[in-house]
Structure 1
Amino acid sequence: MPGKQLSSPCMDCRDADSVFMIRSRRLCRNCYIRFVDYKVFRRMEKYRLRKDIPKTGPCRLLLPLSCGLGSAALLHMIHTQIEDFRSKPYGPAGFDLHVLLIDLSCISSRRLPRDDIVEVLQRRFPLASFTQLPLHSIFEFVPDLQEVLPKYAGQGYADDYLLSSKERLDAFRASISSATSAADVDSILLNRLVVAFAKRIDCLGVLWGDSDDRLAARTLASVSKGRGSSLTWQVSDGMSPFGLEFNFPLRDLFTVELQNYANSFPELADIIVPDTPLSDNVLTKNLSIDQLMLRYVSSQGTKYPGVMSNVTRTANKLEAPRMLTDRRRCALCDSFIHDLGGPTMDDKKSSSLPEFCYACDRSRPGLS
């Protein structure tokens, strides 16, 4: 009996018609999902096999979930991995997954997809645990910031302790007029909240849902903003200055590949909140450096995906700078301060004001 005639057979299994084109290969749905899943599996294998990790039980990992494409797809992939290794009677202990859902409506137009999102997620991903927090809970998890933010903002801002935490955070953000500085501070506050929460529940590391092109955009933006020294943990796998491992399991995948993956699972449709595309009519001066770099990478990455991959791979090879003179930390971002010399650093050492790293200092209102 003659076999089934396929108009465009999958280049892997040859048993089904191809649906997706990925890196010059035509793949069916199942082979495509297997390809994408394996990229993440390789990045997570050290936690599964417990290499260089104390074997005192499953380690706990934190996944910050914004309900964007990357973090939602990553949650689906990792939960599938947990299901797989827990179904094996003699498999390795693996890891426990805790998901932190942060409401970012106070800093962006993105809203959570539904009011009962935590209950929905818990039903669909029962092997993970979930916590939801607003961004202004940063004052609870990092109380020292209540003293730092007014000194960072300068004379143009006066903190009112009678206001609620949300109102205080909104007032502080309103004092920052530069789009780049505002985006920079927002990312710092988000990072500090994630780190503080991860430490509170004794996590070994944080799993970030950034794809290859987003990491490339962050690399270019960080260098432009004077945060080049932080690339060793902002876009690279390994130990961060905060005592937590940072891991980017999606670093080998592009956004378009994640979109095809998400489209293959209907259960992700009402979880993912799509990014609002930047309008071409918005003046460049009104965009932050992060938005400019993301727009550039999104447009050029379609034409030259290999070039954007090289940006991320090169940054991942960087080593931490060795200019540390002591263990001083920035009062705002909590990363180490590198002694670049000059009178500004000397002045700060002799003053009672909190010390800021070079990048945070240059982004302060009135200086940016």
Structure 2
Amino acid sequence: MPAKELESPCVDCGDAEFVVDVRSRRLCKWELRQLLIWDPTSHRPCYERYVSLKVLRRIENYRRPKSVPKGQPYKLLLPLSFGLSSSVMLHAMNAQLERQLSKPYPMVGFELHVLVIEPSSISPSSASAEQRFGLLQKNFPRHSYKMLPFHSIYEYEPTVQDIMTQFAGEGFVDDGSLSHKERLDAFRASITTATAKADVDQILLNRLVVSYAKELNCDAILWGDSDSRLAAKTLANVAKGRGSALTWQVSDGKSPSGLEFNFPLRDLFQAELHSYANLIPELMAIIIPDEPPLENTLTKNLSIDELMMRYVQTHGEKYPGVMANVTRTANKLQPAAVSAGARRCAFCDAFMRDSEEQSEFCYACARSRPDSAC
């Protein structure tokens, strides 16, 4: 009896109806064909394989070469926010590791360390992530995990307290008798504008992640920014005066901290990550959904980062290729040549220009200070 003819078959396997239409490619959820030869990619969802390959192409450098002694894989840190992008990246990386271990002669190229900054310590409106953290360890048990509160930056960056006091200016007094949480809350409260608050929080979070990665002697940090997010960061950083930092804040390569920064999701749109997550129930269980933007919020109450993200989300649906070009162009930028002893910004660690020799802070950080924020 002839097989039932499919109305809209998957373009990859042709054995099932398509579920997702991505970039004019109709892909199914499950690949049902049986292969006569052993293939670790068979029996995988076609769309899952599509997303995974996009990620894996960006981490080719972390395959363990034959010259590296056995048992010494690359150590990679993955900061996880329980958001869509970083959660999808963890799932894709975990699936790749499982496939490597399933081979007759496994050669594991990397080991993954996951760092979670407790969301409720960043924003009081966020719920505690304890339950999700436990579920995370249960669903992906092969990796090591650590959850830290935001104020643990005082422990991992002992010198940051003096820098923060200087950054906040004369009107701020750091009370050493308070707890780390109270001290950080007081510092963050001293920052005035929405843009400055978002900018300062991101810098402190990056410093905490980098410090933890150095403590583990990691080779690189894998940031879970999608193409859409990177496009928004590119536009926002230029608007804030951080254009010189694009070579490491949105591009793959070495950062001023000495660690490699890698963005494996840079070839995937936000909508594609949503489609991926919706096909995997255990992944949806750990993701904290983004709060929908309030339509009646005044523009002046939004940070530049929020404005650019809204712009990219709105126009990215209509012109995804344009936003992709923004990210690709930024990734082609080359860092300026600097001497080994070049001065760095005390707060964000970016290299200083000659015109900034009289200040401890770069132009962008100076704009975020309470006495000069705009």
TM-score (ref. length: structure 2): 0.91
Structure 1 residue 214 displacement after superposition: 0.3
Secondary structure of the structure 1 residue equivalent to 2:15: coil
Which AA in structure 1 matches 2:19? V
Partner in structure 2 of residue 22 of structure 1: 22
Per-residue deviation, 1:43: 1.1
Say which of 346, 352, 363 aligns to 1:358.
363
Deviations 1:289-322 (A, max 9, x none): 0000000000000000000000000000000023
Q: Distance in 1 between matches of 2:72 and 2:95?
A: 20
Q: Whole-Å Cα distance in 1 between the matches of residues 328 and 348 of structure 2?
A: 25
Q: How does 1:177-256 map to 2 (within 5 A)?
A: 177-256=192-271
Q: Which amino acid aligns with 2:260?
A: E
* Structure 1 equivalent of residue 132 of structure 2: 117
Change (3 A) 1:126 1:282: same
Q: Give the 4+ runs in structure 1 shifted more than 4 A.
A: 51-56
Residue aligning to 1:9:
9
**Partner amino acid for 1:363?**
S
- Using a 3 Å threshold, how does the CA distance of structure 1 residues 346 and 230 change in structure 2: closer, same or farther? closer
CA distance in 1, matches of 2:189, 2:66: 46
SS at 1:298 equivalent: helix
Query: Counterpart in 2 of 1:135?
Result: 150
| Other structure's SS at 1:105 match | helix
Q: Which amino acid in 1 is paired with 2:230?
A: L
In structure 2, distance between residues paired with 1:324 and 1:317: 22
Distance 1:190 1:151 in 2: 18
The aligned length equals 358
Q: Give the secondary structure class of the aligned counterpart of 1:156.
A: coil
- What aligned pairs does 1:279-358 form with structure 2 within 5 A after superposition? 279-322=294-337, 326-339=341-354, 341=355, 345-348=356-359, 355-358=360-363
Does 2:65 match 1:60? no
Whole-Å separation in 2 of the counterparts to 1:149 and 1:242: 19
Call closer, same or farther: CA 1:325–1:199 in 2, change over 3 Å: closer
Instruction: Report the RMSD for the aligned CA atoms in angstroms.
Output: 1.8
Q: What 5-or-longer segments of structure 2 have no aligned partner?
A: 30-44
* Structure-2 separation of matches of 1:235 and 1:112: 29
Cα distance in 2 between the residues matched to 1:285 and 1:51: 55
Q: Is 1:150 the counterpart of 2:165 in the alignment?
A: yes
Q: TM-score, normalised by structure 1?
A: 0.93
**Hey, what's the Cα distance between the residues in 2 that align with 1:278 and 1:77?**
28
Residue 287 of structure 2 is aligned to residue 272 of structure 1 = yes
* Identity among equivalent pairs (%): 59
C-alpha distance in 1, partners of 2:69/2:251? 22
Shift of 1:94: 0.8
- What is the CA–CA distance in structure 1 between the aligned matches of 2:134 and 2:363, rounded to whole Å? 42
* 3-state SS in 2 of match to 1:155: coil
2:221 is paired with a residue whose SS is: strand
